[in-house]
Amino acid sequence: MSFIKIKEYIHNLNIDEYENVAEQLKDDSRKNVQGLVRKLLNLRHKQEQEIIRVRNMYDFDMNFINTGYLAGVDEVGRGPLAGPIVAAAVIMDLNKFHKDMILEINDSKKLSVKKREELSEIIKEKVIDFNIAIIDNGEIDLKGVGICNQQVLKSAVERLKITPDFVISDGYAIKELNIPNTYAVKGDCKSASIACASIVAKVYRDNLMKKYAKIYPQYHFEHNVGYGSKVHIEALKRYGLTPIHRMSFLKNIL
């Protein structure tokens, strides 16, 4: 079989089949084929490592609950100069993870925009329940970001259609939540549920800021998503505030 035909054949395979194909090709003396064998084995090894990494994240969650539902919750948008805080809560079917793990989940900031978008759709399709909560800049200015941060996490959990039996959040516990809960420092790297919540929240908020970018193009929200980039601050000084800016965050800038 020609090298081109081999590549076409492999293109249609599942990565789980790579090792068997590599075994079949190992005695082919052509250098380009042997390079392909090494590539297949490397990709298969990376997948095996990814399965182990993600399984550990699911196992982390299983340590907190034996029966019932666990919700993971995370927020995004605590620090920007403009736009809302967004939190997401997700309930995963942890009992089925050996057969249907969501690979590549991680701290949303460690993923590319494209990968976050792909994973967000997969997560929303596969989880048992999810909810997104939002607090706008006006309320942040009125109450303070600390209070609003707690409020948005609490709302994300309380408005789930299914009431979880236990909740785990990223970074700090949720106050005044009438459900047993705990937190994990850097939980979006440790917990499958928190990582999924992180991705859903990040994608939702980023897409919201892209919509605002069309209304207020001078601020380039599609790139900085409201954070204090150089371009954003220069636009603030030149054009002033928009209705989505956080006044309480701008005292030392304007």
- Residue ranges for the known binding site for a divalent metal cation are 74-75, 170
Residues 83 and 210: beta-carbon distance below 8 Å: no
Phi, psi (degrees; rounded to nearest 5) at 216: -125, 70
Distances (CA, A) of 189 to 54, 87, 199: 10, 17, 11
Binding site, annotated residues = 74-75, 170
3-class secondary-structure state, position 85: strand
From the list 225, 238, 231, 233, the residue with the least C-alpha distance to 250 is 233
Which helix or strand (DSSP H or E) is residue 134 part of? Answer: strand 129-135
Question: Listing from the earlier edge strand, what are the strands of the sheet with 85-91?
Answer: 129-135, 85-91, 70-76, 166-170, 181-184
Instruction: Please give the structure tokens belonging to residue 224.
Output: 């900085």
Assess contact for 180 and 165: CB atoms under 8 A.
yes
Neighbours of 68 (CB within 10 A): 10
